[in-house]
């Protein structure tokens, strides 16, 4: 029986780690995906999707792979980590959403896309479609995102500040009409008393928030929590020390950003570059 390898030997995001191990074991055995499917009695395309990280499969197929490769328990352990990581992410995000709805004020920094609270339906649709959503699921997610904007509606809306990296505003939608509508919505948002928009120009250089979107929520009990998100995952941070460190970094970035008045002028200049009639 081969020596069982340590699960954390190549620590990475659990879902990617699981996919990497599947591919490595198959290549060591010298099987093609089709041969693997024939030998285990499953559609070979399932194994292809598992190795790409598109699905983690079920426990039965993972146990069969453990038996076939002579790695008793290794793949099942990695599978459990991949499944629990996804579940924990959803739980953390659900908790974040409930806290966001109760927040007395919100501060945000955006690396590459506009915050959901300021997106138009056209912007949200193109963004979500680029992430692979389509059909009914896409419609549902767009509707859900538009529902979030209600948080900033009404007389009792909490103060919301967002600092937008210049990259956010330089990344246009493919549809010029939708892009113009988004910029107009952002312009109008700067006129609302509860919304503050600042632009962080490229000239500001590197800084401590270059790789992650961050949202700070001030809660009714006086606590502040943070939600940091990158391309692969999001983390709800509730411990005081790391939240305070993030806040200090955010304050530094805010000092580098254009003032709200200068930021509004920046958005207006961008609007002038977009034709009123996209067909012209």
The residues, any chain, with a CB within 8 Å of residue 129's CB and separated by 6 or more, are 138
95 and 52 share one domain: no
Give the tens place of pLDDT for each residue, 15-48.
888 899 999 999 999 999 999 999 998 888 889 9
In CATH, what number is assigned to the domain containing residue 27? 1.10.260.40
25 and 143 share one domain: no
Res. 118: pLDDT tops 90: yes
Residues paired with 216 in a beta bridge: 107, 226
Predicted pLDDT at 52: 87
Range of the domain at 190: 88-273
127 and 165 share one domain: yes
In CATH, what number is assigned to the domain containing residue 200? 3.30.870
Looking at the 3D structure of the chain, how many domains does it have?
2
38 and 124 share one domain: no
Predicted pLDDT at 61: 85
Give the tens place of pLDDT for each residue, 194-207.
999 999 999 999 99
Give the tens place of pLDDT for each residue, 210-249.
888 999 999 999 999 999 987 666 788 999 999 999 999 9
* Percentage of residues in the chain having pLDDT higher than 70: 90
pTM, two decimal places: 0.68
Residue 266 lies in a domain: yes
23 and 143 share one domain: no
Distance CA 146, CA 140 (A): 10
Predicted pLDDT at 254: 97
Do the beta carbons of residue 213 and residue 109 sit within 8 Å? yes
23 and 94 share one domain: no
Predicted pLDDT at 8: 41
Contacts of range 8-17, beta carbons closer than 8 Å, 24 or more positions apart:
13/85, 13/232, 13/233, 14/78, 14/81, 14/82, 14/84, 14/85, 15/53, 15/56, 15/82, 15/85, 15/86, 16/53, 16/232, 17/78, 17/81, 17/82
Give the tens place of pLDDT for each residue, 72-110.
888 888 887 776 665 655 666 778 888 888 899 999 999
Give the tens place of pLDDT for each residue, 166-187.
999 999 999 999 999 999 999 9
Predicted pLDDT at 181: 96
Do the beta carbons of residue 228 and residue 212 sit within 8 Å? yes
Stronger pLDDT, 8 or 263, i.e. the higher one: 263
Distance CA 184, CA 255 (A): 26
The single residue listed with the structure tokens 């693997």 is 36
């Amino acid at each position: 029986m081969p020596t069982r390898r340590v699960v954390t030997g190549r620590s990475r995001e659990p879902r990617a780690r699981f996919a990497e191990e599947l591919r490595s074991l198959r290549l060591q055995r010298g099987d093609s995906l089709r041969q693997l499917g024939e030998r285990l009695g499953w559609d070979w395309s399932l194994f292809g999707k598992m190795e790409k990280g598109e699905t983690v499969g079920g426990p039965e197929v993972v146990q069969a792979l453990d038996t076939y490769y002579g790695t008793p328990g290794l793949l099942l352990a990695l599978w459990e980590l991949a499944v629990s990581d996804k579940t924990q992410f959803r739980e953390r995000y659900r908790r974040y959403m409930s806290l966001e709805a109760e927040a007395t004020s919100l501060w945000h920094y955006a690396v590459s896309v506009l915050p959901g609270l300021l997106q138009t339906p056209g912007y949200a649709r193109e963004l979500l479609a680029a992430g692979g959503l389509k059909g009914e699921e896409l419609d549902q997610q767009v509707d859900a995102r538009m529902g979030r904007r209600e948080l900033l509606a009404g007389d009792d809306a909490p103060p919301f500040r967002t600092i937008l990296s210049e990259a956010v505003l330089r990344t246009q939608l493919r549809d010029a009409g939708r892009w113009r509508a988004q910029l107009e919505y952002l312009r109008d948002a700067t006129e609302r008393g509860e919304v503050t928009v600042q632009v962080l120009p490229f000239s500001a250089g590197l800084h401590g928030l270059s790789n992650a979107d961050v949202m700070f929520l001030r809660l009714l009990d006086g606590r502040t929590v943070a939600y940091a998100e990158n391309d692969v995952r999001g983390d709800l941070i509730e411990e005081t020390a790391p939240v305070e460190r993030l806040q200090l970094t955010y304050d530094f970035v805010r000092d580098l950003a254009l003032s709200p008045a200068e930021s509004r002028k920046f958005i207006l200049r961008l609007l002038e570059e977009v034709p009123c009639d996209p067909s012209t």
